[in-house]
Amino acid sequence: MILTEELEDENFQEILERAKNRIDKIYPAWTNYNLSDSGMVLLELFAYMIEMQQFHIGQIGEAHLQAFLHLLGMSKKGMCPAKVYAKISGVKEAFFMSQGTKALADSIVFEAEETAYIERDDMIMEEVRPKWYPFGEKPESGAEYEICLKHPLKENIVHTLYFDLLDKYPVSRNMIDEEFIPLVKLKLDYYNGADYQVCEILKDTTCGLLQSGILQFRFEERMGETEGNCRLRVTAIGEYDTAPLLKEVSFNMISFVQKNTIFEYQESEIFPGEKDFCEITAKSWNVLHGDTRIYIKTEKGYKQTKKFASYDREEMRTFVFAKEIFGGLSGEVTIRLVSGSPDRKIGAFIYKGTGMPDQQFFLPDRNVLGFSFALWVEEDKNRGYYIPWFRVSDFAKAGHTDRCYVLEEEKGILRFGNGRQGMMPKGNIEIISYAVSAGKGGNIQKNQMSGFDRERRAIALHNPEGAAGGEDTESIDACFERYKKDMEIKNRAVTYKDYEEIIKKTPGLRIKKVKVFASDVLENTLEVVIQPFTNHRRILKNDVYDKNVMHFLERRKMIGTRIIIKKTEYIGVSIRLEVKVKSRYVDVGTRIEEHVRGYFEEQMDFGKTIIYSRVFGFIDSLQETVGIHDLAIHAGGKNVMRDDNKDIYLPFNGMAYLEEIKVQCIRTNE
């Protein structure tokens, strides 16, 4: 929140007294300070004007705060709908479910994010294993995992498998984003009765089974059987840092977004050329069940046409156009399909623009999704043609010829410009894309989804996990707070510590430790050593980790700085220990070994010296020990040195780990 301070806090009387006290120095001849004096009347008038000016200067309205945000390069975040995966069950016969199919969680509406083919319930053979490693606990490139099916999948259909993964490792994987270079790619095969054939993978949100998500695929030939079942084979190509751990693999896990779409449009480009007919396919639930109008883009705007035919197939509607309707148009032609829900037909939201400045209209709903909102105007001087207008956050940068508007999402208010900043619409203002959302209120709890709205099939729906990501429209105060928090986040690397903190945040990786050094040989060069978390595996054979780090640093390092990633040199340490222990402890040797392994796991860092006395003191201070008879520490490797104090010095990229420990215990009653 911006802190406001009063520039001047003098009131009328204080301003007047200050002015009267200055009269003697400025004009000593003025001696009559009575209110009857005309000069005193003028002083009172000016004091009043100063007090009013101070009051108005001290007022900071929303427009001022918006301007300050623009200066900071910030803008308010719009409303964001929640998302959730939900499982469809009770399916006896497969069917298509269209994008936008509406489901309910109490009275909150969710919509399917995309068209999906819903399989029968009993497709995957049940396996009694609550959690398992599909590629083994130490997967190698080329490792395979088979999914056994009771029934064959249909060919030439997009199928969707959902993988629910468990992340139980102590070092969490950084969130995966578009900058991430995959560690592993999946290859999917199906058995056609003779051998395995490759499936076409259309989407993999699991990023090679690194996170929970879906795998969409299809194949062309019929599926066959082997040993009484049908099979899919998943192959991992690449090297995992940690083995993926599966909780469940299933069909019919569908992604839903929390919104209720009233109007929407789909824009497509076609090339009529010499074709007699052109087709456009739409997959939306509103297209199938509501009203749809077709508009063709011309030089004057979009013009409606009724010359088309349509047919339905697999929860999709295809529109067919004869080339005659494109007369006068050449090359690429833009067609816009505008659809409305069964409850509200196209044209239900039409407002009359008067051509006056600062027009304002109240929409039927609050919490309107800004990114799903669109309108166009049928101007009085251009009847029959519709021109799209675009949305802006405010009119500060708009010119007098800009066809723009402001949408206040949370209030459901539509505003237009004043003729100097933003044009003033005159004609029919028609909303062609409109959706509402509950925002933060859409973050429902698990198992809160109850079923479908208007779905007549006897099927059930439930969400194993709660919805997430729903946010209300950001307030101006919250935007300033976000700016302050963003300023604390390091996005540019200057110091060694900056580089280390940024590298640890590299998307998609599990990084346990990192160290940055200045090169002793090259100027303006930093050498980086990284210890990935690999669950006790020491070395990653490929260089994908290094590529991810270099790619992530490219836009965050100082210009002219060269980065070299050095391979970590793992130094195996062996310990021989003879120790006197308390007799009341069971398996005391194993307990001491675990303590020492934990010490090396936590205390060691790149290039850190193994100080003999510290290891000795650590073991000697354990509650199980009484005293140490003998302690020998050995380490071998390139550039490893040892001094007279038995301390072991490592190279700068060396990382010590406990390779072997032998403990001989002497029990005592002390």
Contacts of 109 (CB under 8 A, 6+ apart): 102, 103, 258, 259, 260, 453
Dist CA 256 CA 86 (whole Å): 7
Region of poorest pLDDT, from 46-60, 295-309, 556-570: 46-60
Contacts of 192 (CB under 8 A, 6+ apart): 221, 222, 223, 224
What pLDDT is attached to residue 537?
64
Contact 375, 348 (CB under 8 A): no
What pLDDT is attached to residue 456?
65
Sign of CA dihedral 87, 92, 94, 99: negative
CA-to-CA separations, 129 to 162, 247, 254, in angstroms, rounded: 17, 9, 23
What pLDDT is attached to residue 1?
43
What pLDDT is attached to residue 538?
62
Contacts of 50 (CB under 8 A, 6+ apart): 10, 15
253-257 and 108-112 beta bridge pairing:
antiparallel
159 vs 56: which has the higher pLDDT: 159
**What percent of the chain clears pLDDT 90, i.e. is strictly above it?**
66
- Tell me the average pLDDT of the chain: 90
The one-letter amino acid code at 511 reads I
**What percent of the chain clears pLDDT 70, i.e. is strictly above it?**
97
* Res. 2: pLDDT tops 50: no
What pLDDT is attached to residue 630?
93
* Res. 442: pLDDT tops 80: yes
What pLDDT is attached to residue 154?
94
DSSP letter at 348 equals: S
99 vs 535: which has the higher pLDDT: 99
Contact 552, 179 (CB under 8 A): yes
* Res. 190: pLDDT tops 50: yes
Dist CA 245 CA 132 (whole Å): 6
Extract the tokens encoding 1.
């929140």
Dist CA 123 CA 94 (whole Å): 10
316-322 and 277-282 beta bridge pairing:
antiparallel
Mean pLDDT, residues 440-467 taken together: 88
* pLDDT (tens digit per residue) in 599-651: 998 888 999 999 999 999 999 999 999 999 999 999 987 789 999 999 999 99
* pLDDT (tens digit per residue) in 491-532: 889 999 999 999 999 999 999 999 999 998 899 999 999 999
* Res. 3: pLDDT tops 50: no
The pTM of the full predicted model, rounded to 2 decimals, is: 0.83
Which of 495, 614, 605, 598 lies closest to 556, judged by CA?
495
Contact 105, 448 (CB under 8 A): yes
Which of 310, 321, 309 lies closest to 273, judged by CA?
321
What pLDDT is attached to residue 130?
67
Q: Is 232 exposed, middle or buried (0-12, 13-18, 19+ CB in 10 A)?
A: buried
* Res. 420: pLDDT tops 50: yes
Q: Is 360 exposed, middle or buried (0-12, 13-18, 19+ CB in 10 A)?
A: exposed
* Res. 56: pLDDT tops 80: no
Which of 303, 260, 264 lies closest to 101, judged by CA?
260
Extract the tokens encoding 503.
């590298």
* pLDDT (tens digit per residue) in 313-370: 888 899 999 888 887 777 889 999 999 998 887 888 899 999 999 999 999 999 999 9
Backbone angles phi, psi at 13, to 5 degrees: -65, -40
Dist CA 43 CA 30 (whole Å): 13
Dist CA 419 CA 203 (whole Å): 47
Which of 394, 369, 541, 542 lies closest to 476, judged by CA?
394
Mean pLDDT, residues 544-573 taken together: 92
What pLDDT is attached to residue 455?
67
Angle between helices 38-57 and 12-26 (to 10 degrees): 130
Three-state DSSP at 440 gives helix
* Res. 128: pLDDT tops 80: no
Extract the tokens encoding 389.
């207008």
Contact 252, 161 (CB under 8 A): no
Q: How confident is the model at residue 100 (pLDDT cuts 50, 70, 90)?
A: very high
Residue with tokens 């497509």: 268
Dist CA 311 CA 316 (whole Å): 8
Contact 550, 635 (CB under 8 A): no
Mean pLDDT, residues 267-284 taken together: 86
DSSP letter at 410 equals: T
What pLDDT is attached to residue 313?
87
Query: Could you give the dihedral angle defined by the CA atoms of residues 249, 253, 258 and 264, in that order, rounded to the nearest 10 degrees?
Result: 130
Dist CA 208 CA 234 (whole Å): 10
Mean pLDDT, residues 208-216 taken together: 95
Backbone angles phi, psi at 96, to 5 degrees: -95, 140
* pLDDT (tens digit per residue) in 567-613: 888 899 999 999 999 888 888 999 999 999 999 988 889 999 999 99
What pLDDT is attached to residue 491?
84
Extract the tokens encoding 130.
């609550």
DSSP-assigned states of every residue in 180-249: PPPSEEEEEEEE-SSSEEE-EEEEETTTTTTSSEEEEEE-SSPP--BTTBEEEEEEEEE--SS---EEEE
Contact 470, 258 (CB under 8 A): yes
